[in-house]
Amino acid sequence: MGSGKFHAKSIKAAILLAHVALHTGDRVGLFTFSDQVTAMIKPQTGMRQLRRIVDALRSQQPGDIEADYDAAFLRLGQWQKRQSPPGYEAGIAPLIAGVH
């Protein structure tokens, strides 16, 4: 699967996951990164939050930059410690060799 198709499917999956969680009353946030953090949205409830997430995801573009997973997960861990109550994370990433 090319990076463009994977990117589009990743965005659709993230939006669907956020929609379902928000519909059941859960708080949802967003954390995206490449070689640096590109979006951080504090977890909140409500359908207005879905609009924030959709808008942030629309601005994300696939690229040829190597993702810095170590730095991103360190930053996510620091950010997560400040969130109350703690939550769960779901990751969507090109983990298959050859997908960039």
- What digits encode the pLDDT tens for the residues 36-90? 888 889 889 999 999 999 999 988 887 778 888 899 889 888 887 776 666 666 6
Tokens, residue 20: 């379902």
Q: Where are the domains of the chain?
A: 3-81
Record the pTM: 0.77
Contact 46/19 with Cβ under 8 angstroms?
no
Query: Is 18 exposed, middle or buried, given 0-12, 13-18 or 19+ CB atoms closer than 10 A?
Result: buried
Looking at the DSSP assignment, which residues form a beta bridge with residue 44?
28
- What digits encode the pLDDT tens for the residues 6-39? 778 888 989 999 999 999 999 999 988 888 888 8
What H or E segment, with its residue span, contains residue 14?
A: helix 3-23
